[in-house]
Each structure stands twice: as C-alpha cells, then as structure tokens.
Structure 1
Amino acid sequence: MSRPTGNTPFPKRARTLNPKQYGHEVTTPETPMPVRAWIVTMSGDEFEIDAEAIAWTRRAVHISYMDRFGHPDTAWVWAGAVVRR
C-alpha cells in the first residue's frame, strides 16, 4: 500500500506493490533510468507518467516521479507497466 508522506493526498497516491510481490533481489543503478510508467491511484485513477527507475527486480520497477500536484513520490509497479524513454 502507499506510504503517507504528507505531500500527495492519500486517495491520489499511487498504489505500490509490497515486497512479497516485487521480490527481494533488488538492483539499484548508479544513475536512475528515464522511463514512462502507468500508475493506478488508491482511488482507481490511471495515469501514464514520466518517471525514473530507481531500482528493479525481475518482476517490478521502483519509480520516482512528480505527482499531479507537483510533489515527489515513489511507487513499486509491475515491470510490464514501464518502458524506457
């Protein structure tokens, strides 16, 4: 589930995967990789956004992005929801 940060209103936060879903063998690059990613908010809205891949596993990607309110946020999303820019 999403983590409270005090920035993005909770219903507008991206849903994020939990460690059981994304796995434990996490790769972290020296430099984040520019990507396009689909996120789904807690309220069910879907958006395709510009983001940076800050880590990944075989199944999922940890993305960093600016939410629609201009606040920085992160989420783990399925690898199929992410493509390189």
Structure 2
Amino acid sequence: MSVEQVPLSEQAYSLGPAQYGTPVRPAGEPLPITAWIHTRKGHQLVDGVALAWTEKAVRVRYVDGHGREGFAWVWANAVTRRLPSVGA
C-alpha cells in the first residue's frame, strides 16, 4: 500500500544543513512525536516520527490533515515525544 506524499506546494518548510548543524544522529527506531510545522497555509500540529536529530533540530516524517506523508527538519523545541498508547 502506497502512501500519498504531501504536494510540494503544501510541504512543511524545512531547515537547511547550515541551520540544523552536525553531527546528525539517526534514530535506531523512529520515535513517535508531535511537531509544529510551518507551511504556506500557516502552522500545524502534526503527528509523526523522529528519524534523526542534532543538538538544534529534528528530522521528522509527519502525516498532514489529509493523511499524506511529508518530511522536514524542524527546530527541536517544536517537537514533543509522544508516549506509547496504553495496550500498545
């Protein structure tokens, strides 16, 4: 089953390498998170997973309000780790 990607015109703004810095630490397993992203339409709180991080930022895979998948580097303070659901 293929997941539809967020169209370029609606993707979250992503930090560049000069902003997120190094070293980039990949997650051993994706960590459940919620994150604030910024798009052309404004800010949105989305569910997703953290794929990697630096001291300043987190690489997230998120699902938008239409169920489409997107990726972005966002500032670390825009991300909150979600606790696993009870019974999961």
- Smaller-chain TM-score bracket: 0.7 to 0.9
Task: For 2:62 and 2:38, locate their aligned partners in 1 and report how far apart those are by CA, in whole Å.
Answer: 13
Q: How does 1:1-85 map to 2 (within 5 A)?
A: 7-41=5-39, 43-85=40-82
Q: Summarize deviations over 1:28-52 as a string: whole Å, max 9, x none.
A: 12111111100000x1411011110
Unaligned runs of 5+ in 2: 83-88
Secondary structure in 2 matching 1:46: strand
- Identity of paired residues, percent? 42
Q: Where does structure 1 differ by over 3 angstroms across 4 or more consecutive aligned residues?
A: none
In the alignment, which residue of structure 2 is the partner of 1:3?
Answer: none
- Tell me the amino acid that sits aligned with residue 35 of structure 1: I
Give TM-score, length-normalised by structure 2: 0.81
One-letter code of the match for 1:70?
A: G
Shift of 1:12: 1.3
Segments of structure 1 that go 5 or more residues without pairing to the other structure are: 1-5
Q: Between Structure 1 and Structure 2, how many residues are aligned? A: 79
Amino acid paired to 1:39 = I
Other structure's SS at 1:14 match: coil
What's the TM-score once normalised by structure 1's chain length?
Answer: 0.84
Query: Larger Rg: 1 or 2?
Result: 2
* Deviating more after overlay: 64-73 vs 6-15: 6-15
